[in-house]
Amino acid sequence: VIQPGTATLRKAKKITVKICLDNPFVFQWKTIEGEDMHFILQTLEERIKHVGLKKIETPRKKKRSPRKIQTESKCDASTSKLLKKEEEAEGHRQNPGWTDISIRRQLAIGVNEVTKALEKNELLLLLVCKSAKPAMITSHLIQLSASRATPAGQVPRLSETVAPLLGLTSILALGFKKQSDKFTEVVEAIIPKIPALEVPWFQYRTEESMAYAHTDSSENHKPEQLAEALEDELTSQKRKRTESNQLDLSNVILQPLKIKKLVPNPNKIKKPPRKKKKAFS
Amino acid sequence: MAAAVKDREALQRLSFLFQAAHWVLPHSPALARFYSFTQRGAARRLVLRLAPSVKRMVCRRCCSLLLPGEGGGQRLRGRGQPRTVLRCRTCGRCRRFLCHGQNWDGPVLESRPT
């Protein structure tokens, strides 16, 4: 037992490595190619400018005027009577809020709105910004959208391009609802560009699971055989069970065990151990 | 590392249970709950650690498996300090996690691939 006073003499403490179970599933967004990315961004920009959807906030008066002038110059084609139109538009647009509510309803803007709409199966297409920090705030969308079989794509600069167009500070998720009439062309143009998402346990996509089965053959055999043997026994013994209860386990791929080894941080700030004062005893 | 070899089988069992629960979820959430319950019980008996990402997918009260789609609703709340609120649908238990600032990879413990 070494006294605390002599702690500085010994250098390296024996660092125990702790082992913990790591999550075997890893969800990653698939990278969209540069051309497709630009195409998506451009189509979105054009569409939004064309529609003229914008949100105006009252408390920030300083930033309003340059933004308004810009939007008017972009949206209004005829710039003959600028002054009069500006005054009229100012009077019209001083009401805080969105310029067009009906269009606003066709979009789900923001992560929470997108998740709500996804849970209700209302979305046709989903676009996520890649520059989210921390990445955890958008990672749940991958699984959600895969479960609803909704195409979802991650575009790096979504927030930078779309947010100023709409008058918001940042957009991390954007969803197009199923009833949108103005955005259907955009949606149909973008959908084929987005690669499909991989989520192993949803058997909606049999093609992907077949590809998996071909690649990992060594790991599959044992669990598959066990599963099939079990299934056969069950079917022979209990015939009362309807077929819906039998699971389709032939496509199951057991992920290899993922272990995370934790090494306690050497720079960890430890509280100085309290010395029990026995001076008064 | 003899200790690792001993626990390796147990960890494999845990991992298998976890994955099985995911596969079973669309068919019967009750079975998924049973698997997660067994997994947690096994981890507790052998005092094995689970990664925080694994722990978050399992509800603490009812042990049902929470997927972002089915079972656990996830929302982002909080203006000053953004946090994710994970809500179990079956038992209604809320869990809150802070969204740490930028450049945050994990908790203080470092993991070295040895």
Give the pLDDT confidence of B70-81 residue by residue, as tens digits: 777 778 877 667
A269 is a domain residue: no
Average pLDDT of chain A to the nearest whole number: 60
A140/B11 Cβ within 8 A: no
Reported as a pLDDT band with limits 50, 70 and 90, residue A218 is very low
For the cut 70, the answer to whether the pLDDT of residue A195 exceeds it is no
Q: Which residues contact A135 (CB under 8 A, 6 or more apart)?
A: none
- CA dist A58 and A62 (Å) reads 10
Higher-scoring residue by pLDDT: A154, A225: A154
| Alpha carbons B45 and B10: distance in angstroms, whole number | 10
User: Is A204 in the B-facing interface, judged by CB distances under 8 Å?
Assistant: no
State phi, psi for B13 to the nearest 5 degrees.
-65, -45
Q: Find the closest chain A residue to B5 by CA distance.
A: A19
In a mutagenesis test of the A interface, which of B9, B54, B96 is the best target, namely the one with the most A β-carbons within 10 Å? Answer: B54
Best interface-test mutation with A: which of B23, B27, B83 has the largest number of A CBs within 10 A? B23
Phi and psi torsions of B82, nearest 5° = -70, 135
* Tens of pLDDT, residues A9-45: 545 566 666 666 666 666 666 666 667 777 777 777 7
A208 within a domain of the structure (yes/no): no
Reported confidence tier of residue A221, pLDDT bands at 50, 70, 90 = very low
* Dist. CA A160–CA B64, nearest whole Å: 39
Residue A115 lies in domain: 34-55+97-193
Stronger pLDDT, A122 or A274, i.e. the higher one = A122
User: Is A137–B12 a contact, with Cβ atoms under 8 angstroms apart?
Assistant: no
CB-based contacts of A139: which residues, under 8 Å, 6+ apart? A27
The answer to whether A121 contacts chain B (CB < 8 Å) is no
CB-CB contact of A63 with A179 (8 Å):
no
* Model pLDDT, residue A109: 82
The closest CB to that of A134, out of B67, B99, B109, belongs to B99
Whether A264 is in a domain gets the answer no
Size of interface A-B (CB pairs under 8 A): 117
Chain A, window 222-281: residues with a beta carbon less than 8 angstroms from a chain B beta carbon: 245, 247, 249, 252, 254-255, 257-265, 268
By DSSP bridging, strand A55-56 and strand A97-98 are antiparallel
Q: In sequence order, which ranges of chain A are alpha helices (DSSP H)?
A: 34-51, 64-75, 82-93, 101-104, 111-119, 136-147, 158-166, 184-190, 206-215, 221-237
- Output A76 or A155, whichever has higher pLDDT: A155
CATH (domain of A181): 3.30.1330.30
| Residue A231 located in a structural domain | no
In a domain, A154, yes or no: yes
Contacts of A44 (CB under 8 A, 6+ apart): A127, A161, A162, A186, A190
Q: Is residue A170 part of a domain?
A: yes
Q: How far apart are CA A264 and CA B109, in angstroms?
A: 5
Domain-embedded: residue A111: yes
pLDDT at position A32: 63
The answer to whether position A45 is within a domain reads: yes
DSSP-assigned beta bridge partners for residue B110: A263
pLDDT of amino acid A234: 42
Total domains present in chain A: 1
